[in-house]
A and B are shown apart, each in its own frame.
Chain A
Amino acid sequence: MSLVEIQGINKSYGSVQVLKDVSLDVAKGEVVAVIGRSGSGKSTMLRCINGLEPIQAGVIRVDGTQVNDPATNLRKLRQEVGIVFQSFNLFPHLSVCDNITLAPRVVKKQAPQAAREVAREVLARVGLEDKLDAYPSQLSGGQQQRVAIARSLAMRPKLMLFDEVTSALDPELTGEVLKVLESVAKEGMTMILVTHEMGFARRFGSRVVFMHEGRIHEQGPAAAVLAEPKTPELQTFLSAVLH
């Protein structure tokens, strides 16, 4: 059974339809890279998966739970689905440790000491164990994004969503975040990434999905799709971003 099933979803902002009959299945352990122009609906689709955006038609299921059912407990779902944003969205008034342990303590009722141990462990996974008591404002953008990834990992999610997580970073900081993504992927995490990093998509993506004007225009195994795009729209897009 697929971990994520998206069936024929439609989404509009007023009269503008941003998602048109989008369907996508993601199996456990897959790393799906979603690419496409700005405004093609990539980020919106990602945000629909954990219920941050409502949809007007279609069905989204994560691990068998229907996301767009009013009876669904979104709180419970969101403990299983981590999301990392382009602008990090760390809590500026909390230390790195408190950023990471807030949800485990408040939502999962972990004891503070146990939560701190979890924070230590996930920070080690992103290479920042020495920043446990720092504040977000004392960290570089790349470090902040790695803390944001650690914060998601601390909830032990089954699925992680990444919304252009390197787009707000300088090129030299992009590398350290990609390295973290790489190690998370290698641990077998199911990941859906909206990204402009074609190199990362090629090497670690099990699949590439190209979105165009609110639809999934082309998809397939990462290496094949990127090497030999079939549709003219993807060819144009790839030649624009790669050169």
Chain B
Amino acid sequence: MIREFGLIDVMYLIAAARWTLALTATAFIGASLIGIVIAIARILPLAPVRWVAAAYIHIVQGTPLLVWLFVIFFGLPLAGISVNPWIAAATAFSVYGSAFLGEIWRGALVSIAKTQWEAGASLGLSLGEQLRHVIVPQSIRVAIPPTVGFLVQLIKNTSLAAVIGFVELTREGQLTAAGTYKPFAVYITVAAIYFAMCFPLSQWSRSIERKLDVAR
């Protein structure tokens, strides 16, 4: 039975967008936790640690996110680990995001002059104290605009989770389009909802960037 595409469907789409945001937030937190470790591992004066972190980034960035979703969702159950779509998506997006945030934050950390490390070291600060009190506070300013920019990418990329049956905005759109047979109207609405989430963020990112430029 084909029904009309009405206001109630729009409400359902908006409700599904909450899952898009929930997945984005979870993935962002997971990616941040792993990313900060990767970023610091990449600048430590210990070559093997740097190599492991670099290998992690190369592997994750050199493989499609979609493949990671499939590996985790379809592959892990074969190894006896059952995963639901939510866990699979949160894990895949955290891993994917950590490689990018790790690189963004590494760049921010190395953008701070070597003389700042030296000034800290010659006052008797340990490596960890130099990072915590001298380097990280300064690099946060550098890191905010690209981090927010990446967050926008993450929101959009969560649409891939639709392929493993995770009902977020895009998946809800597919279901609605199938039920109403109005794909054009449905997907335009879906696009508009994504835009409403991403646009304020990119504007915010640009305004921060402008503010930091003035401060320099």
List residues of chain B with CB within 8 A of the CB of A103: 123-125
Query: With the chains together, A79 CA to B121 CA distance in Å?
Result: 10
Q: In this assembly, does A50 line the interface, its C-beta being within 8 Å of a C-beta of chain B?
A: yes
One digit per residue, 1 when the CB lies within 8 angstroms of any chain B CB and 0 when it does not, for chain A 60-82 equals 00000000000000111011011
Chain B residues closer than 8 Å to A83, beta-carbon distance? 122
A-B contact count (CB 8 A): 54
Query: Among A75, A87, A90, which residue has the most Cβ atoms of chain B within 10 A?
Result: A75
Chain A residues in 8 Å Cβ range of B134: 91, 102
A79 & B124 in contact (Cβ 8 Å cutoff): yes
* Size of the chain B interface, CB-CB below 8 angstroms: 16
> Do A91 and B116 have beta carbons less than 8 Å apart?
yes
CB distance from A61 to the nearest CB of B (A): 18
Candidates A52, A89, A107, A151; contact of B116 at CB < 8 Å: A89
The minimal Cβ–Cβ distance linking B144 to chain A, given in whole angstroms, is 14
Across the interface, do B118 and A52 meet the contact criterion of CB distance under 8 Å? yes
Contact of B124 among A52, A78, A90 (CB under 8 A): A78
Contacts of A79 in B (CB 8 A): 123-124
Tell me what chain B mostly uses at the interface: helix, strand, loop, or mixed: helix
Nearest CB on A from B129, distance (A): 5
Please measure, in the bound complex, the distance between the C-alpha atom of A91 and the C-alpha atom of B116, giving whole angstroms.
7
Contact with A along B64-93 (1 / 0, CB 8 A): 000000000000000000000000000000
Within 8 A of B (CB), among A171-206: none
Q: In the complex, how many residues of chain A place their beta carbon closer than 8 angstroms to a beta carbon of chain B?
A: 24
B127 to chain A, nearest CB (A): 10
Q: Which residue of B has the minimal Cβ distance to A50? A: B122
Q: Are A106 and B122 in contact (CB under 8 A)?
A: no
Q: In B85-126, which residues have CB < 8 Å from any A CB? A: 115-116, 118-126
Residue interface bits B120-159, CB-to-A below 8 A is 1, else 0: 1111111001000110011000000000000000000000
29 contacts between A and B (CB under 8 A): A50-B122, A52-B118, A52-B121, A74-B121, A76-B124, A78-B121, A78-B122, A78-B124, A79-B123, A79-B124, A83-B122, A85-B118, A85-B119, A89-B116, A89-B118, A90-B119, A91-B116, A91-B120, A91-B133, A91-B134, A93-B137, A93-B138, A102-B133, A103-B123, A107-B124, A107-B129, A151-B123, A152-B123, A155-B123
Please give the residue numbers on chain B whose beta carbons come within 8 Å of chain A beta carbons, in ascending order: 115-116, 118-126, 129, 133-134, 137-138
> 8 tightest A-B contacts by CB?
A103-B123, A89-B119, A78-B124, A107-B124, A79-B124, A83-B122, A89-B115, A75-B124
